[in-house]
Amino acid sequence: MSLCKICNNLGSPIADVKKNLCYYRCSSCGFVWLDNQFMLNAKEEKKKYDQHNNSLENEGYVQMFEDFIEMAIVPYQENIHSILDFGSGPEPVLSQLLERRSFKVDIYDLYYAPTKIYENKTYDLITSTEVFEHLSKPLEVLSLLAKHLNRHGYMALMTKFPPKDDTEFLAWWYRRDPTHISFFTPQSFEIMGKKTGLKVLKTINENVVIFQKK
């Protein structure tokens, strides 16, 4: 038995017999998470990240971010003058693409840009792409980020929403990355927003959510 990290309701186990893993799905908000005992340690996690080919030379990766910018940032750009990219990765591709569009961007990453540049600062926009699925304490992180948003500022997150069926979830390619431990539904994001002073403006394509600070 395990309680949901988002809404504190009971989670039902999802057993991966082949890999000897156990996930839980919240019976209320639909959030899915890996049991803590199966999570990688920091050294193992960084080793996995070091293997990623995420650079400006990767055309597919760059196109993913260009699409994200058009969907999640351009519609609000008149109100955006300062940006924090939280979880920027080994090569901060998103921030570089945004700077090409004349945005001013700070970056932070637990392993690759660990200076907490956001301390004592607030932003009009915080982006966090392909990050929240790696977090063991996502509500705490969202609360922290919300404190660094200006009033009426935006937060744009990218992470894939999980299949609703347990069998489909176990066959889902996205959860096979051992560093992916948290999977969110629109409802779980709504609850997280209410707990952290954010309003969900929209969700896009089952992998992007836009918040605005109240």
DSSP 110: T
pLDDT digits (tens, 9 = 90+) for 69-103: 999 999 999 999 999 999 999 999 999 999 999 99
Answer yes or no: are the C-beta atoms of 155 and 125 closer than 8 Å.
Answer: yes
Residue 185 identity (one-letter amino acid): T
For residue 153, the model assigns a pLDDT of 98
For residue 102, the model assigns a pLDDT of 96
- Alpha helix (H) residue ranges in 25-134: 42-50, 59-72, 93-100
pLDDT at 151 over 90: yes
Does residue 69 come out as left (phi exceeding 0), alpha (psi in the -120 to 50 range) or beta?
alpha
For residue 58, the model assigns a pLDDT of 87
- The confidence band for 190, taking pLDDT boundaries of 50, 70 and 90, is very high
Q: How many domains does the chain have?
A: 1
DSSP 140: H
Cα 68 to chain centroid, rounded: 13
For residue 88, the model assigns a pLDDT of 95
For residue 52, the model assigns a pLDDT of 77
Q: What distance in Å separates the CA atoms of residue 15 and residue 58, rounded to the nearest whole number?
A: 35
pLDDT digits (tens, 9 = 90+) for 31-64: 999 999 999 999 999 999 998 777 888 899 999 9
For residue 57, the model assigns a pLDDT of 82
Residues 6+ apart with CB under 8 A from 125: 73, 76, 80, 82, 83, 84, 153, 154, 155, 156
Q: What distance in Å separates the CA atoms of residue 155 and residue 183, rounded to the nearest whole number?
A: 18
Overall average pLDDT of the 107-116 stretch: 97
Domain range for 137 is: 2-213
pLDDT at 13 over 80: yes
For residue 10, the model assigns a pLDDT of 96
Q: What distance in Å separates the CA atoms of residue 186 and residue 208, rounded to the nearest whole number?
A: 9
pLDDT at 11 over 90: yes
Residue 88 identity (one-letter amino acid): S
47's tokens: 């080793």
Overall average pLDDT of the 179-191 stretch: 98
For residue 9, the model assigns a pLDDT of 97
CATH number at 36 reads 3.40.50.150
Q: How many CB atoms lie within 10 A of CB 69?
A: 19
Of 4, 7, 3, the residue nearest 194 (C-alpha): 7
The residue to which tokens 């959510």 are assigned: 209
Overall average pLDDT of the 115-139 stretch: 98
Which percentage of the chain shows pLDDT scores above 70? 100
